[in-house]
């Protein structure tokens, strides 16, 4: 059976979790990521920045990619506590998550800030995972599609292509709650994001990966990830348990 196009990506966002002991989690994930799984699904782990070198070293003999969870829009300078895309790249990361709703909320990141960070990611030679998603109030008001469309238009980096940019649709109300949208709602949203990408990048839209995120677990992965235009998952809590993360990755096998 031919694999899906674009090739699905299952990405783990560890958020502010993990320690040096997470080496064993990564070793377990690596051990379970066999040739069949590798052929169908790409795997990425995004630990806190200080754990990136450990994750890179632990996965060095595998095809598992490592990413950061944020970067600054500037390449260097007086930005205490921040980290540049090039620093993540030097540590061996190849992806950066930008515009996660937790950062949009905790750090008041606007679409313009997210776009600048995504552009810094591309300039550093890494792939940006640009996160978008509506709140519960916005969905209940019937504004989900419009809100996400505006976020995609406002956050997509200049020069975005399937090789350097991934979109992650994460409804804020589904993150860490166990709640998930209906298959019909996921299908409608992902189709709409594809349409908007068509406006923005033309034919390249077809090859750009659009991930779903928000309470993805092994038990719902096949249903959610099997939806048209869902090209993988951005996984929070379940990415911290090897069997769960691998179980989600197996959704496309």
Ligand X SMILES: O=C(CO)COP(=O)(O)O
Among 59, 155, 215, 229, binds ligand X (CB under 6 A): 215
- Part of the chain binding ligand X (CB under 6 A), chosen from 54-62, 75-83, 155-163, 231-239: 231-239
Q: Is 170 a catalytic residue?
A: yes
Q: Is 142 exposed, middle or buried (0-12, 13-18, 19+ CB in 10 A)?
A: exposed
Phi, psi for residue 239 in degrees, rounded to 5: -80, -5
Task: Closer to ligand X by CB, 65 or 175: give it.
Answer: 175
- Tell me the number of residues near ligand X by CB under 6 A: 14
Task: Closer to ligand X by CB, 44 or 54: give it.
Answer: 44
Q: In whole angstroms, give the CA distance from residue 75 to residue 51.
A: 21
Question: Cβ of residue 213: shortest distance to ligand X, in angstroms?
Answer: 4
Question: Is residue 13 part of the contact set for ligand X (CB under 6 A)?
Answer: yes
Task: Closer to ligand X by CB, 124 or 213: give it.
Answer: 213
Closest residue by Cα to residue 235 from 11, 8, 43: 11
Find out whether 12 is annotated in a ligand binding site.
no
Q: Is 79 a catalytic residue?
A: no
| Token pair of 179 as six digits | 């709640």
Task: Closer to ligand X by CB, 56 or 97: give it.
Answer: 97
CB contact set of 51 (below 8 Å; sequence gap of 6+): 14, 18, 19, 20, 22
Of 16-75, binders to ligand X (CB under 6 A) are: none
Task: Closer to ligand X by CB, 116 or 216: give it.
Answer: 216
Q: Which position among 72, 100, 119, 190 bears the catalytic label?
A: 100
CB contact set of 216 (below 8 Å; sequence gap of 6+): 180, 224, 225, 233, 234, 235, 238, 248
Question: Is residue 116 part of the contact set for ligand X (CB under 6 A)?
Answer: no
| Token pair of 128 as six digits | 């940006």
- From the CB of residue 243, how many other CB atoms can be counted at a distance below 10 Å? 12
9 near 166, Cβ under 8 Å?
A: yes
Using the structure block, give the residue that is written with the tokens 């959610």.
224
Question: Cβ of residue 252: shortest distance to ligand X, in angstroms?
Answer: 18
- Part of the chain binding ligand X (CB under 6 A), chosen from 19-27, 58-66, 202-210, 233-241: 233-241
* Residues at the site binding ligand X, with contacts judged by CB under 6 A: 13, 100, 170, 175-176, 213-216, 234-238
Q: Which residues are annotated as a binding site?
A: 13-15, 176, 215, 236-237
**Mind telling me the catalytic residues?**
100, 170
Q: Which residues are annotated as a binding site for substrate?
A: 13-15, 176, 215, 236-237
């Amino acid at each position: 059976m031919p694999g899906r196009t674009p090739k699905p990506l299952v990405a783990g966002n560890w958020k502010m979790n993990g320690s040096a002991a997470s080496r064993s989690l990564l070793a377990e994930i690596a051990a379970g990521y066999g040739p069949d799984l590798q052929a169908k699904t790409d795997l990425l782990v995004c630990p806190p920045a200080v754990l990136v070198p450990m994750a890179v070293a632990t996965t060095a003999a595998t095809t598992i990619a490592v990413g950061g969870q944020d970067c600054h829009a500037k390449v260097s300078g007086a930005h205490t506590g921040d980290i540049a895309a090039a620093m993540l790249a030097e540590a061996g990361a190849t992806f950066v998550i930008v515009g996660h709703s937790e950062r949009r909320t905790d750090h008041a990141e606007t679409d313009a800030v997210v776009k600048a960070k995504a552009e810094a990611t591309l300039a550093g030679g890494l792939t940006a995972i640009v996160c978008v998603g509506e709140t519960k109030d916005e969905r209940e008001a019937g504004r989900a599609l419009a809100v996400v469309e505006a976020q995609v238009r406002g956050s997509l980096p200049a020069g975005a292509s399937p090789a350097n940019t991934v979109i992650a649709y994460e409804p804020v109300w589904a993150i860490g709650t166990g709640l998930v949208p209906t298959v019909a709602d996921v299908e409608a949203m992902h189709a709409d994001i594809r349409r908007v990408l068509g406006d923005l990048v033309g034919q390249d839209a077809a090859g750009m990966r659009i991930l779903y995120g928000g309470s993805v677990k092994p038990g719902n992965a096949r249903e959610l990830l099997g939806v048209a235009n869902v090209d993988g998952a951005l996984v929070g809590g379940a990415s911290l348990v090897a069997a769960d993360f691998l179980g989600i990755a197996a959704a496309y096998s």
